[in-house]
């Protein structure tokens, strides 16, 4: 099975975010980056499928040169090779524009299966995978917990709301977005890190792919820190003092204990 | 050029978010001086259409085709595209449900559009709709505009609009029969199922102590269990804790777990990603303990302590015991 895993590099989860002066994005200068966590689960699923059925796992990533670090980590975990669409200004692409880049890079690949995380931790549109499927004319399923290979296709376990699940049969090639937490993430081994250095990273530029940002159909007007909808009473002082004040409020003001 | 609300029906009941989306469509229509209509897919759903016909809407579209028995993204995207061509709405609103997340990006892409997903609010500026959504798991807000004329697409976050604001009135029902063939539907959905019977009913708990990533290791769980015990509370968790197998799935609160509204919800080391907040923000009193002062959980919290839970929780247990 030839499996493409689309991954994204995003600011680390515990980053302290500041708004850039332009108010169009966050200030990036002192951020550290990591793989979008949902995409790490997609990669894990891809690697497990390869271990079971053989084939190849190719990591696909659109992002600035710094994304190479995240790509190397995917290679160190076991991806066989990677495609890096180098683009400094991904902010100029809306989800459709970004998916067009990925689709263009896949034209010569004809994979059996494309996997990605169910959403990104930064923009959180939760759309790139499904848009990519539509652009490539592939069937898709989202929020997938489990993938089983069947004759002529796959059987996937989809998560629904309120604790419900559903199995879906589908033909290959197909695209799936993978639910986070469905399996345990592996760490890169020392051997894997060593091997990653010799693996191929094909670098493409957005312009070469003939998929420029064009005119986005949605535009970011302004980003800002949310205003609190509730007035939170914060208790300061030592842990002991803060805890005592909180308990007093819960007992005499909120009357819940 | 009206506003179209696409509602979700399971076959036995409306999705709880459908009325919120209907209320939003009515409100935005009023602000733009246009009308709202509603649509839903449900073969043979005439009774449900009659219920909508008593709301303040221009039209109720019932999308009816036997191939739409059982949800598929192909079937829904093809059928709704034909409906949109016919109704020519300016803005199409959806609830941000798992099903909508599955087919809306496909539908919008087929029309060369991008849907603005998981919207929390809106405003009307010079006759244009500006939508507010969240970035970085709720830490940052963004105002988004559509760059071109409709039809444009948006999905609304659970709880962003109030279901009880739906205005009554009357509407004509129109049955829409899309052109759809079995060969166009490439996936085959099987029966729905649940993994296990739930032994714990979090929805019945008066006090819930809930734990998140901040607890770091399963070995640290007895600390929050002790806090739950002194409060007479049920122990719950955010998704990562249940995914890791540290607590059973039935104790998970959030969009993929249970929705709770206890007298008090105490969130320990939970940052408050959207998926968690939608499952607990209806709680009467929310208490948050988190080391990150910018964690979104503090936006819904009534009381909070910014600090290391490993220092704060033992003191809290002590203070509660002394107060009794």
pLDDT digits over B160-176, tens only?
Answer: 999 999 999 999 999 99
For residues A109-126, average pLDDT: 95
Instruction: Name the percent of chain B lying above pLDDT 90.
Output: 85
Cα A153 from Cα B119, distance rounded (Å): 36
Whether residues B263 and A256 touch (CB distance < 8 A) is answered with: yes
Give the nearest partner residue to B305 out of A121, A168, A242, using CB atoms: A242
- What is the per-residue pLDDT across A153-165, written as a single tens digit (0 to 9) for each? 999 999 998 788 9
Q: Which residues of A touch B311 (CB under 8 A)?
A: 239
Residue B257 DSSP one-character state: S
Q: Which of B264, B315, B317 to mutate to test the interface with A (most CBs of A within 10 A)?
A: B315
Separation CA B314–CA B324 (nearest Å): 16
How much of chain B, in percent, has pLDDT values that exceed 70? 98
Query: Six-digit token pair at A58?
Result: 């190719």
Can you tell me the ipTM of this complex? Answer: 0.92
Residue whose entry in the numeric block shows the structure tokens 């290391």: B308
Chain A CB within 8 Å of residue B303 CB: yes
With beta carbons under 8 A apart, name residues in chain B contacting A15: 136
Residue A212's pLDDT is: 65
Does pLDDT of A12 surpass 90? yes
Cross-chain CB nearest to B307 (options A182, A239, A249): A239
Among A217-221, B65-69, B185-189, the minimum mean pLDDT is found in A217-221
Question: What confidence score (pLDDT) does residue B308 get?
Answer: 97
Peptide bond into B181 cis (omega under 30): no
pLDDT at position A50: 98
Q: Which of B109, B110, B272, B304 to mutate to test the interface with A (most CBs of A within 10 A)?
A: B109
Distance (Å) from the alpha carbon of A76 to chain B's nearest alpha carbon: 23
**Spatial CB neighbours of A117, under 8 Å, sequence gap ≥ 6:** A7, A8, A36, A37, A38, A39, A40, A41, A42, A129, A177, A178, A180
Question: Cβ-count burial of A85 within 10 angstroms (0-12 exposed, 13-18 middle, 19+ buried)?
Answer: buried
Average pLDDT over residues A109-130: 96
Q: What pLDDT does B138 receive?
A: 86
- Give the tens place of pLDDT for each residue, A187-233: 999 999 999 999 999 999 988 887 666 678 899 999 999 876 678 99
pLDDT score of B309: 97
Q: What span, in angstroms and rounded, lies between the C-alpha atoms of A85 and A188?
A: 23
- What pLDDT is stored for residue B165 in this prediction? 93
List the alpha helices (DSSP H) in B139-184: none
Task: Tell me what pLDDT residue A213 has.
Answer: 62
Residue in A15, A180, A217 nearest the CB of B114: A217
For the segment B210-254, what is each residue's pLDDT rounded down to a tens digit?
Answer: 999 999 999 999 999 999 999 999 999 999 999 888 998 889 999
The larger pLDDT score, comparing residue B193 to residue A212, is at B193
Confidence of residue B50 (pLDDT cuts 50, 70, 90): very high
Model pLDDT, residue B324: 82
Relative orientation angle of helices A95-106 and A128-136, to the nearest 10 degrees: 50
What pLDDT shows up at residue A124? 93
- Which of B109, B134, B142 has the CB atom closest to A134's CB atom? B109
Residue of B9, B187, B286 for testing the chain A interface, max A β-carbons within 10 Å: B187
Q: State residue A66's pLDDT score.
A: 96
Interface probe for A, chosen from B17, B98, B104, B254 (most Cβ of A below 10 Å), is B98
When the pLDDT of each residue in chain B is averaged and rounded to a whole number, the result is 94
So what's the pLDDT on residue B20? Answer: 95
**Residue range A17-32: mean pLDDT, rounded:** 91
What's the pLDDT band for B256 if we cut at 50, 70, 90?
confident
Q: Which two tokens stand for residue B231?
A: 């409060």
Q: Please tell me whether the peptide bond between A173 and the residue prior to it is cis, using omega within 30 degrees of 0.
A: yes
Q: Fill in the DSSP letter of residue A227.
A: P
| Interchain pair A141, B135: CB under 8 A | no
Report the pLDDT averaged over residues A105-111: 93
pTM: 0.89
Taking 80 as the threshold, does the pLDDT of residue B121 lie above it? Answer: yes
Q: For A244-253, B67-76, B254-263, which range has the lowest pLDDT when averaged over its residues?
A: B254-263
Which of chain B's residues have a Cβ under 8 Å away from the Cβ of A242? 305, 307, 312, 315
Q: Which among A24, A145, A131 is positioned nearest to B112, based on CA atoms?
A: A131
In terms of C-beta distances under 8 Å and separation of at least 24 residues, what long-range contacts does A83-87 make, across chains too? A83/A58, A83/A59, A83/A109, A83/A201, A83/A202, A83/A204, A84/A201, A84/A202, A84/A203, A84/A204, A85/A60, A85/A61, A85/A204, A85/A205, A85/A206, A85/A209, A86/A203, A86/A204, A86/A205, A86/A206, A87/A62, A87/A63, A87/A205, A87/A206
Give A65-97 as a DSSP string.
GGGHHHHHHHHHHT-SEEEEEE-S-GGG--HHH
> Has residue B198 got a pLDDT over 70?
no
Would you state the pLDDT for residue B275?
Answer: 86
Say if strands A201-205 and A81-86 run parallel, antiparallel, or are unpaired.
parallel
Is A135 in contact with B148 (Cβ distance < 8 A)?
no
Q: Record the tokens describing residue A86, joined without a space.
A: 């180098």
B105–A contact, CB cutoff 8 A: yes
H and E: helices and strands count for chain A: 6, 13
B73 contacts A244? CB cut-off 8 A? no
């Amino acid at each position: 099975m030839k499996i493409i895993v689309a991954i994204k590099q995003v600011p680390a989860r515990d980053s302290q975010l500041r708004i850039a002066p332009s108010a169009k994005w966050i200030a990036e200068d002192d951020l550290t980056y990591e793989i979008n966590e949902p995409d790490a689960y997609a990669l894990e699923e891809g690697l497990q499928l390869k271990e079971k059925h053989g084939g190849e796992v190719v990591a696909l990533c659109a992002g600035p040169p710094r994304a190479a670090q995240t790509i190397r980590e995917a290679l160190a975990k076991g991806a066989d090779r990677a495609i890096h669409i180098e683009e400094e200004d991904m902010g100029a692409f809306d989800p459709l524009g970004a998916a067009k880049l990925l689709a263009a890079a896949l034209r010569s690949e004809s994979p059996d299966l494309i996997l990605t995380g169910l959403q990104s931790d930064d923009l959180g549109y939760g759309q790139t995978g499904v848009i990519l499927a539509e652009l490539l004319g592939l069937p898709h399923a989202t929020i997938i917990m489990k993938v089983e290979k069947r004759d002529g296709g796959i059987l996937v376990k989809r998560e629904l709301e309120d604790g419900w699940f559903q199995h879906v049969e589908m033909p290959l090639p197909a695209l799936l977005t993978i639910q986070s937490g469905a399996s345990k993430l592996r760490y890169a081994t020392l051997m894997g890190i060593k091997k990653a250095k010799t693996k191929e990273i094909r670098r493409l530029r957005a312009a070469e792919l003939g998929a420029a940002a064009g005119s986005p159909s949605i535009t970011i007007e302004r980003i800002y820190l949310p205003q609190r909808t509730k007035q939170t009473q914060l208790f300061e002082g030592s842990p002991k003092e803060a805890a005592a004040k909180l308990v007093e409020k819960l007992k005499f003001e909120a009357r819940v204990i | 050029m009206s506003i179209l609300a696409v509602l979700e029906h399971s076959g036995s009941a409306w999705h709880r978010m459908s009325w919120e989306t209907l209320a939003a469509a009515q409100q935005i229509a009023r602000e733009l001086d246009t009308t709202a209509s509603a649509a839903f897919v449900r073969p043979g759903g005439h009774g449900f259409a009659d219920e909508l016909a008593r709301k303040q809407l221009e039209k109720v579209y019932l999308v009816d085709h036997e191939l739409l028995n059982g949800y598929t993204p192909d079937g829904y995207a093809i059928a709704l595209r034909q409906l949109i061509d016919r109704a020519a709405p300016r803005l199409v609103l959806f609830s941000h449900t798992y099903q909508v997340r599955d087919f809306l990006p496909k539908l919008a892409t087929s029309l060369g559009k991008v849907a603005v997903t998981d919207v929390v609010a809106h405003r009307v500026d010079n006759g244009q709709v500006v939508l507010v959504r969240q970035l970085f798991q709720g830490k940052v807000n963004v105002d988004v505009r559509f760059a071109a004329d409709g039809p444009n697409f948006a999905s609304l976050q659970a709880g962003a609009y109030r279901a009880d604001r739906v205005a009554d009135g009357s509407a004509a029902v129109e049955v829409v029969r899309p052109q759809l063939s079995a060969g166009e539907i490439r996936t085959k959905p099987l029966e729905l199922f649940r993994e296990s019977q739930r032994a714990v009913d979090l929805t019945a708990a008066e006090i819930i102590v809930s734990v998140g990533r901040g607890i770091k290791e399963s070995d640290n769980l007895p600390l929050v269990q002790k806090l739950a015990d002194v409060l007479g509370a049920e122990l719950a968790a955010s998704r990562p804790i249940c995914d890791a197998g540290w607590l059973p799935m039935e104790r998970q609160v959030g969009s993929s777990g249970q929705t709770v509204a206890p007298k008090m919800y105490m969130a320990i080391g939970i940052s408050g990603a959207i998926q968690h907040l939608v499952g607990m923000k209806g709680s009467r009193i929310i208490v948050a303990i988190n080391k990150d002062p910018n964690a979104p959980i503090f936006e819904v919290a009534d009381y909070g302590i910014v600090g290391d839970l490993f220092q704060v929780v033992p003191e809290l247990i002590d203070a509660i015991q002394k107060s009794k």
